[in-house]
Each structure stands twice: as structure tokens, then as C-alpha cells.
Amino acid sequence: MSGPLRMRVFLVVLLVGAAAYMLRDTISYYTMDETQKQTLIESGEMDDIRKNIIHKGLDLQGGMHVVLEVDLEELIKTRVEDGDAEIDALISNSLEEAQNNETEFFPTFAKNVEATNIRLARYFPIYEKGPNSDVLDALEADAKDAVDRAEEIIRNRVDQFGVSEPTIQRKGAWRIVVELAGITNQAQARELIQATALLEFVLVQEDPQLLDEVIRNIDKAWAADMGEETPEDSTEVVADTSVDESAPSLADILSGEEGDSLSITGTGDVGRPFSSLINVGSNTIWVPEENVRSVKRKLTKPTIAAAVSSDSKLAWGVSPRDITGDGRMHRALYLMKGTAELTGDVVTDARESLGGFSGAEFVVHLSMNDEGSREWTKITAGNVGKRIAIVMDGNVHMAGVIRDKIADGRTQIEGMNDLQDAKKLAVVLRAGALPAPMLIEEERTIGASLGADSVAAGTQATVFGFILVVIFMAIYYKGAGLIADVALILNLGFTLAVLSTLNATLTLPGIAGLILTVGMAVDANVLIFERIREELRNAKTVKKSIDDGFNRALTTIVDANLTTILAAGVLWQFGSGTVKGFATTLFWGILCSMVTAIFITRTIFMVMTERKTMTKLSI
Amino acid sequence: MFELIKNVNIDFLGKRKLASMISGAVILAGLVSIVLHGGPLYSIDFEGGTEIQVLFTESTDVEAVRSALSDIGYGDAAIRSFGNEDEFLIHVKTSTKSEEQVNTIREALASIHGGSYEIRRLETVGPKIGKELKGDMISAVLIAMAGIVIYISIRFQFMYAIGALVALTHDVLITLGLFSLLNMEISLSVLAAFLFIVGYSLNDTIVVFDRVRENAKEKRHDSFMSVLNISLNQTLNRTVITSLTTLTVVLILLVFGGEVIKPFAFALTIGLIVGTYSSIFVASPVVLAWDENQKKKKNT
């Protein structure tokens, strides 16, 4: 074999190997069963795998795609005080005008206000007094803040749904796109996006003995629960511990359970399934990130939840922290008082800023109304040195120590790492106080059953189409057709490999794109083969015909395919949702087909004609 | 050698008058239909509205669904059976906030068999987003076409770009017209199919033009018309084979791809056939006409 040819063959092998490697996670992910998946999820390995696979789009696995937009009408009208027909009409007309002309609301509103001699400050006393332009700016900032709040509320809640990889994205200034894959309960999901949040200030239980007692009680209830578990359940629990090396005792207990069930219900010295999964420090339970899922699931069981006495409750912190300093992340689980001291409706404002002892720390300034301030004074005075948690919809966003009695309702919250953290906490605090009216502007919900039907139909169509094209090529071009078939199979493999590496999402139109690619991928080979046939007819030698056929077809293939790629690119840029999936598969499919048809088939031909001089070509 | 078409020498350009009459008639019929319908029939993607695909677990007929929806004031809802028996597609226009609309429809559906139904698909689009999507997609089609003209002008000559552009417009107009004649909706995915048609039709056209370019160099003494004809004949085998393989997979998609993808697959099927036809009977005749026109100008 000549040097350059050896290089070509080496490259082909390299390409095929790389594609196989890129496909490994996708193949293993879609061939493993549920228990294997669960094991990987709980060990945290799933996150790495899911970075390298083709995802099923919402239309294939079922799910919900929602576009929310801030309800400006609702928002502005609730801000108006002492309204009259004039301001109402001005707002309604501007909304309508903006919608009809597809323009932004605020410039339209400003223009319409200009045309009248209304003084906006009269209707919006909640903002600082000033000329109309100032009030308009304040109103717009207020509306933008509502979108921030709604986004924070949704992020805070979405965790509770156990949806894998929810996406929450901002789209422009006024919209939020929420995608929940594989949800089964639509009503529940709708509730999620209805944006009113419950914000509470709850005291943390600082008594170490009480915390100890609760942990012991949970241990007991948990151990008892395991005794009643179905075998299927208990395998999952074993999986938990196999990951967490620091907690081998759970597996021991399980194996001991069969022999000596008495010890489980005993004093708790042996049966410590809960405490073996956690750390305790500064009166807080710290759960290593990898155990969070299993602990969460257990704690929601009624028998185990009952282990916490009714005047207390457990609540999770939202952000993981590296408390041990060794890179292992932990989530806080706070034992708090059963009832809130104060709810968020007393908050009038919360803003991030610089402050603190040095004046350079990131802080949040919180202000409350008169009623709230009075309560706050009492609470803070009676609990100096204790922690009070800021809880939104059951999740603890911050648990700060009360340093001193706060008399005027103006509180400075310290301890944020950066401005981003401070900003987020301020949004959370405002979210509990101010409504963030959002409207569903677009919703696409696909039931899981329809998704499964689509996968089945799409797979069937792809396989059928593929087989028919393969057979056709083999009959029409005989030996050369078989080479084209090899290229076709490789093309499909390469395309899927690229999609896996890009972590792309396959939608139903995406499958259609794949099918089309199969139909069109042969085009390059057809162009080459027809050209080779022509050269053969002109009585050229086999080798010369092949060379000329490839060379002359090359420009045509590039020119022709580039235009389809161009169309796919434009579609990708402008298309949304499922249509984008079509553009993606088409784009990569055609690109890969050029590599397989031009480079790989040519290499196969070269290897064939290398040794012996062929006098006849099967084409 | 197994060949579909052997040693052909068809005078494609001689039939250009007949072809233009056929194309003209089909386009006209489509345009008349579009005008009579008051514009293309857009799906909820562009028009706004709610579409619900619902499957009842008990035997149900269209009338039962219709009367339940009439009771809540959606007497004008379009209801048709969809795929399976007892499965329906309900289409209502957006009137109020979509959230309230969806909730009332759910309640009405629950009243039919005491709630023994499954919502397989629910899509609701506000009029605002619909308008934006329409704008986005129209600019996508226009940008793709402009990009193509620029690309061909650079790689070939301007007159080829005109030929390709006329062929593309022809394909999209015919497909649009057929959708209107058959009362089928233009949805997001159908528009995506249109863009694919634009790409595919062009692919076909360029293969021919590429050959014309090559032959024009080699056969300087032949008339431009015969160069075009020779090129069309030389590429005919490839045109037919590629169209056949692609058409095969698209037809399979149409038959086996399921109800959801049907309009998309249908648009692809029509577009493929029309695209293949136009690369032979529209693009090259336009290039010829342009060329003759230029020559006439030079002579006068």
C-alpha cells in the first residue's frame, strides 16, 4: 500500500473509531434498564453520561414547554391608585396598540402619555414623585423586576417536581421559557408556574439535644420502614450506600436484617440508617450531595416525617456548600420551628448593596412596613444569637444569626459571597411580597403516550427507509452500490455521533431530518457513480474512470450540498423548538454525507484498485 | 450496467411552452384558492389558538364532544377524529386568556364520560407569539432565498441565480396553493418543510447548472439551447435516482411516521416532486430566456 493511501485508510479507521467512542454513552443510556439508570443517578455518574448523549425532545418523551410573559395589564393596573377612566383607557389602548403594531409596550405608552397632559405621578404614588419620564422608568423597572421574581419563584419550586433537567430561560426582557421533560401531572406543573410565592421568616431550633432527638427518631422510623419495604425498594437503598463509602453501615444493617430483625427496632445503636448518611455541625444537618436524593425521598414518607415532633419541621437549604473544605458539597437540612414568625407580605423592599463592617461586603437591605417592623422588633429582641431562616415555598434561602434587636424595620443581611448572591436573595425577598403576574403566552404539552407513539413511528419509518435505500443501491449499482451502502451506514453513525457530542435534542421533525438525510446521502454517491459510468462508456480504464468520476463530481457535490446546508443553517437560526431539531439533524447529516461519500468511498475504491489492475468494475 | 434511462436525448427545452402552461395553470389555481380563502390557512402556530388532541377511553363520537364544547360557548370549535377511534383533535380560536380557556375546555371534556380521557397533546399559542413566529419564518424563507441568489451569483453567473430563484418561487407557490386547495394548514413544521424544499430544489438545479457550465466550455460551437438540453439529459439519471430514493423515504415517513408528522411529510412529498420537475422544466428555460433576451439587447 502506498504511503498516502495508508494515511487515508488510517484516517478512515480513526474516524470510525472516534464515532464509535462518541456514541458509547448514547448507546449505553438507551439500552440500560430503569434500575441501572437509578443507580447511576444516585452515584452522580449520570450527570457525566447525560452530557454526551442525544436527548429526546419534549415531543418524543412527553413534557411541557411553556412561554410565560409578564401580565403588564394586571401589573400596571394594580400599581394605580385613585385610578379613573382616563388612565385606564390610556393603559388599555397602549397595550392594544403595542400588540397590533408589534412594538414594545413602554415606548408606546410613553408616546401616548406625551399626547395627553396627564401627570403620572398622581396615579402612581408608590414611586418617587417626579416628571412623567421618571415614573415611566420606575414602572418599567418594576415590570422587569416582576419577571425576575417570577423566574426565581419557578426556579425555587421546580426542584420539587423531580423533573430531570428542567430548563428555565429568559427570552427577551419580558418572557420566561420553562421546559419540563417527562412530567405526568399537568395540573401540578401549571401550579408551578402560577407565580405567587409564600415567603416566611422561621426561627431555627438551636437546641442541640432537640436536634439529636429528631435524628434518633428518624433513624428509628427509617429502620422500621426498611423492614416493611419491598425487595425492589431496598435494592435502591443499597445502591445509595455503595456510593457513599463513609456510610457502609446501611448495607450491614440490611444484611443483618434477615438474621436478626430485633436489633433494628432496638435502641438505635445498630439501626442508624439516617445518621450514617449525614453529618451534623453547628446545629444543622449536612447531607452530602450524593445522598440528598435518597434522604429527600425517605423524609417525605409519612411514617418517617412523623418522627419530627409537630412543633418543629425540617427544611432544605437551596444551595450546596463545601463545609468540610475537601470539595465535597453538602446541602443543609435545618430543624426549624413549626410555625413562621412572620410572613413575607410585610416586606416593602429588599435591595442588594455594599455595606457591612468594612463597607465592602455584599449585603441586602430589607425594609418592612409598620406592622412588620413592630413584630420584627419583638422577634429580634427575644432571639438574639439565634438564627432566623428566610424560607420561600418551603426552601431555606438563608439562615442568618440575629445580632441585635432591630427596632426600625430596616435590616441589613450579611454573609453573601458576591453581588450575584445578594441580588438573588433580594429578589427572593421581594417575590414573597409583591405579586408577579405572568400569563401563559404559549404552551405545548405532549403526553408521554403520544411521545412513545412518535418514537415508535419515527424509528419504524427510519428503519424502513434505510433498508429500502440500501437494497435499491445494491441492486442498481451492484458492487459499487454495496460500497455506497457502507458509506450510508457510516453516515448515519457519524451523524448520530456528532449529535451525541453536541448533546443535541432529537425531536420528531429531527427524526424526519435523519430520514431525509438517508435519502439524500446517496446523492453524492449517485453523482459519482453516474460520472464513473460515463467515463467507462468513453472507454477509459477502470482506474482512470474512477479517478475522473470522483474528481469531476466533486465540485458538483460541494456546490449542491452547500445550498441545502445553507437552508438548514437559516432554519436553525430562525426556527424554534422542534423545528430547530430538524435543522440540526439535516445540517450535520448532509455534512457527514459529504465526508463519507467523497472520502470514505473513494478510499475503499482505491484499496480495491491498488493491487491488481481491474478490467471490469461492478457498477 | 443496470440503467433506468438509456441513451436518452429528450428535447426538454422544446417543451418549455407546454411546461410553462402547466406550471402557470397550477399556480393560478392555487392562487385563486388562496384568494378565495382570504389568505393561506395558518395553523395555531401563526394564528394563535388552542389545539387539543384528546383520547377517550370509552367509545365517544364527534357529536358528544361538540355538544360538550357548545355548552361552554365553543360552538365554533373545529373537531375532527384523529388517528385512532375515540381520538379527536379540537381546535378553538383564542378569545380570552389561554389559561382560562384551557381550564374550561378540560372541565367540558371531563363532563363527557366522567373524566375518562387523556390529553395526548395540548398546544396553545397566544396571538402575539403567533404573529412573531410568522414574521420570523417569513424572514427565514426570504433570507435563505437571498443567500442562495448571492451564492449562485458568485459560483456561477447572475442569470443562473435568476433561474434558480424562479424555480424556487415556483415550487413554494405550487406547494402553498396545493395546501390551500386541499384545505390544509400551514404550521411551523410545514414552513420548515418549505425551507427544505427550497434547499432540495436548488440542489437539483445546481447539479444541472454545474453540468451546463462544464459543457459550455467544452462545446463552444453548440447553441446554448442544445448545451442546456445535453446537460439535462446527462444529469437525468442522477436526477431521477436521487429523487426516487428521497421520495421513497419521504413516502415512508408519510405512511408510517404517524399522524402528528403527516402535514410535514405531505409538504415534503409535494415539494420533492415539484422541485424535481422545476429543476428540469423551469430553471433551465428561464436561464435560456434570460440569455436570449441579453443577446437580443446586444444586437439592437
Same domain flag for B214 and B190: yes
- Domain membership of residue B2 (yes or no) is no
pLDDT at B98: 63
- Domain membership of residue B1 (yes or no) is no
Query: Between residues B101 and A211, which one has the greater pLDDT?
Result: A211
- Domain membership of residue B5 (yes or no) is no
**Cβ contact, residue pair B248, A449, below 8 Å:** no
Same domain flag for B168 and B255: yes
C-alpha–C-alpha distance, residues B75 and B73, integer Å: 6
Compare all CA atoms of chain B with the CA of A470 and give the residue at the minimum distance: B245
Q: Which of 55-94 (A) contact B at CB < 8 A? A: 59, 67, 69
pLDDT at B167: 92
pLDDT at B1: 62
Compare all CA atoms of chain B with the CA of A537 and give the residue at the minimum distance: B1
Contacts of B97 in chain A (CB under 8 A): 439-440
pLDDT at A485: 94
pLDDT at A500: 94
The DSSP line for A145-164 is HHHHHHHHHHHHHHGGGT-S
Same domain flag for B34 and B53: no
- Domain membership of residue B98 (yes or no) is yes
Summarize pLDDT for B182-223 with one digit per residue, the tens: 999 898 888 888 888 888 888 888 899 999 988 988 877 788
Residue A241 reports pLDDT greater than 50? no
Same domain flag for B32 and B96: no
Structural domain of residue B137, as residue ranges?
13-42+129-299
**Cβ contact, residue pair B140, A583, below 8 Å:** no
Q: Does B124 touch chain A (CB under 8 A)?
A: yes
Query: Between residues A563 and B265, which one has the greater pLDDT?
Result: B265
Q: Which of B192, B214, B261 sits opposite A575 (nearest CB)?
A: B192
CATH of the domain at B94: 3.30.70.3400
Compare all CA atoms of chain A with the CA of B127 and give the residue at the minimum distance: A441
pLDDT exceeding 90 applies to what percent of chain A? 25
pLDDT at A442: 87
Boundary residue ending a domain (B63, B92, B125):
B125
Query: Between residues A615 and A26, which one has the greater pLDDT?
Result: A26
Same domain flag for B98 and B202: no
pLDDT at A231: 42
- Domain membership of residue B147 (yes or no) is yes
**Which range scores top for mean pLDDT: A44-48, A376-380, A573-577?**
A376-380
Name the pLDDT band for A268 (thresholds 50, 70, 90).
Answer: very low
CB B58 within 8 A of CB B98: no
Average pLDDT, chain A: 83
Same domain flag for B61 and B98: yes
- Across the A:B interface, residue pairs with CB atoms under 8 Å apart total 231
Q: Which of 132-171 (B) contact A at CB < 8 A? A: 132-133, 135-137, 139-140, 143-144, 147-148, 151, 155
Strand order in the sheet with A284-288: A279-281, A284-288, A330-337, A312-316
pLDDT at A162: 62
Same domain flag for B37 and B159: yes
pLDDT at A230: 44
Strand order in the sheet with A342-343: A342-343, A199-203, A387-392, A395-401
pLDDT at A602: 92
CB A225 within 8 A of CB A242: no
The DSSP line for A329-373 is -EEEEEEEESS-SEEGGGEEEEEEEEETTTS-EEEEEEEE-HHHH
- Domain membership of residue B4 (yes or no) is no
Per-residue pLDDT averaged across A397-406, rounded? 90
Q: Which of 76-115 (B) contact A at CB < 8 A? A: 97-99, 102
Summarize pLDDT for A146-203 with one digit per residue, the tens: 899 888 888 887 766 666 678 889 988 899 998 888 776 666 667 776 657 889 999 9
Residue A269 reports pLDDT greater than 60? no
Summarize pLDDT for A466-519 with one digit per residue, the tens: 999 999 999 999 889 999 999 999 999 999 999 999 999 898 889 888 888 888
**Cβ contact, residue pair A515, B253, below 8 Å:** yes
Query: Between residues B11 and B127, which one has the greater pLDDT?
Result: B11
Same domain flag for B118 and B166: no
Boundary residue ending a domain (B125, B157, B183):
B125
Q: Does A461 touch chain B (CB under 8 A)?
A: yes
- Domain membership of residue B239 (yes or no) is yes
**Cβ contact, residue pair A515, B252, below 8 Å:** yes
Boundary residue ending a domain (B125, B144, B161):
B125
**Cβ contact, residue pair A186, B241, below 8 Å:** no
Integer-rounded Cα Rg, in Å, for chain B is 24
Q: How far is CA B200 from CA A564, A592, B277, in A?
A: 6, 17, 12
Number of domains in chain B: 2
pLDDT at A310: 79
Contacts of B147 in chain A (CB under 8 A): 566, 570
**Cβ contact, residue pair A472, B124, below 8 Å:** no
Summarize pLDDT for B105-130 with one digit per residue, the tens: 888 888 887 667 888 888 888 888 88
Q: What ipTM did this prediction achieve? A: 0.87
Name the pLDDT band for A265 (thresholds 50, 70, 90).
Answer: very low
Residue A44 reports pLDDT greater than 80? no
C-alpha–C-alpha distance, residues A66 and B75, integer Å: 27
CATH of the domain at B169: 1.20.1640.10
In angstroms, what separates the C-alpha of A319 from chain B's closest C-alpha?
A: 33
Q: Which of A559, A570, A619 sits opposite B144 (nearest CB)?
A: A570
C-alpha–C-alpha distance, residues A415 and A398, integer Å: 9
- Domain membership of residue B94 (yes or no) is yes
pLDDT at B7: 67
pTM above threshold 0.80:
no
The DSSP line for A277-330 is G-EEETTEEEEEHHHHHHHHHHHTSHHHHTTS-TTEEEEEBSS-B--SSSS--E
Same domain flag for B60 and B167: no
